[in-house]
Each structure stands twice: as structure tokens, then as C-alpha cells.
């Protein structure tokens, strides 16, 4: 059942890829790909996750950036991985005030999984971009798609 739900959510995300904004409301305690230790399925009622951007990673690169396409403030981020496995060994979050923060995230994400909620320092922050350092799955397995989400403050 969880797998079907993940496929449906991924399909909706791909179908709305041309849209500028995508807000996700988590209303249940289930689900979760558990990429980095729990996933978004543990979100309390009413949490609003905004899709900040995505990147189709390639087999040659080991570094990519997602520039946030939303100018609001956020309290946490989450990573969703689809289409192929992806090993992330470092993340650097660049804030609007010029500060750079690196959470302790090193994980092998299975296709269709997502990270735990990663709380940002300083409570509410404007995200300029996020830089990812990674290793992709083997060439025959396709290119992974990495989506970045930000949690709106309540």
C-alpha cells in the first residue's frame, strides 16, 4: 500500500512539474520512504511542505545545486529521491544572509525514498540554494531525480 501511495505521489509531482508552486500537506502518520531516518510520514497534522526545486543528477557529476524557486522562509528541509538510488554524502544550505550550513546528512537513498525532516538552525530561514555532493547508482539503473522541499512555519 505504501509503495502504491509513493508511486501516486511521484506521478502527481511529475505531472505538475511545470507548475511554479507545489505545496504538500501531510495529514497522516503513515507512509515514508525512510531515506534518512523516518521520512515525511511522521509529520504532524497541517505541516505544509513547499517544493523548492529539483535536479535530475547525472552519472558524471558528483556535485549539483538546487536554487530555491520560492522566496519565503522555512524551518526545515526534506529531500525526496526518485527514479534511481542516490548516495548523498554532504549537503550545504546557503541562506539569504550569506551564511552556509551543513547538516550531518550522509545516506544511501533508495529510489522512491525521502530524508528525515532536517531542522534549520535559527528557526525560520530564507533558503537561497542547496548544494549536494553525491554518488549516483550504476549507469544501467538510470538517473536519479532529487527534489528539495522546505517546511513553512506554522
Q: Which residues have CB under 8 Å from 45's CB, separation 6+?
A: 26, 27
40-80 per-position pLDDT tens digit: 444 456 789 999 999 998 766 789 999 998 878 999 999 99
d(CA 114, CA 37): 9
The reported pTM is: 0.70
Q: Report residue 55 as a C-alpha cell.
A: 535536479
Instruction: Tell me if residue 125 falls in helix, strand or coil.
Output: strand
Write down all domains in the chain, each with its CATH number in brackets. Answer: 49-151 (2.60.120.1380)
Instruction: Tell me if residue 36 falls in helix, strand or coil.
Output: coil
Burial profile 9-25: b = 16 or more Cβ within 10 angstroms, e = fewer: bbeebeeeeeeeebebe
4-21 per-position pLDDT tens digit: 444 444 444 434 333 333
Amino acid at each position: 500500500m505504501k509503495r502504491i501511495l509513493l508511486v501516486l505521489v511521484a506521478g502527481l509531482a511529475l505531472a505538475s512539474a511545470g507548475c511554479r508552486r507545489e505545496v504538500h500537506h501531510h495529514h497522516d502518520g503513515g507512509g515514508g520512504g525512510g531515506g534518512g531516518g523516518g521520512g515525511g510520514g511522521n509529520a504532524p497534522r497541517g505541516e505544509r511542505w513547499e517544493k523548492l526545486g529539483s535536479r535530475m543528477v547525472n552519472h558524471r557529476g558528483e556535485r549539483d545545486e538546487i536554487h530555491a524557486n520560492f522566496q519565503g522562509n522555512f524551518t526545515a528541509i526534506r529531500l525526496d529521491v526518485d527514479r534511481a538510488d542516490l548516495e548523498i554524502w554532504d549537503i550545504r544550505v546557503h541562506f539569504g544572509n550569506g551564511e552556509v550550513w551543513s547538516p550531518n546528512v550522509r545516506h544511501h537513498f533508495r529510489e522512491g525514498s525521502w530524508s528525515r525532516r532536517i531542522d534549520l538552525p535559527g528557526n525560520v530561514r530564507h533558503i537561497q540554494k542547496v548544494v549536494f555532493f553525491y554518488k549516483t547508482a550504476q549507469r544501467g539503473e538510470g538517473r536519479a531525480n532529487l527534489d528539495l522541499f522546505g517546511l513553512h512555519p506554522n
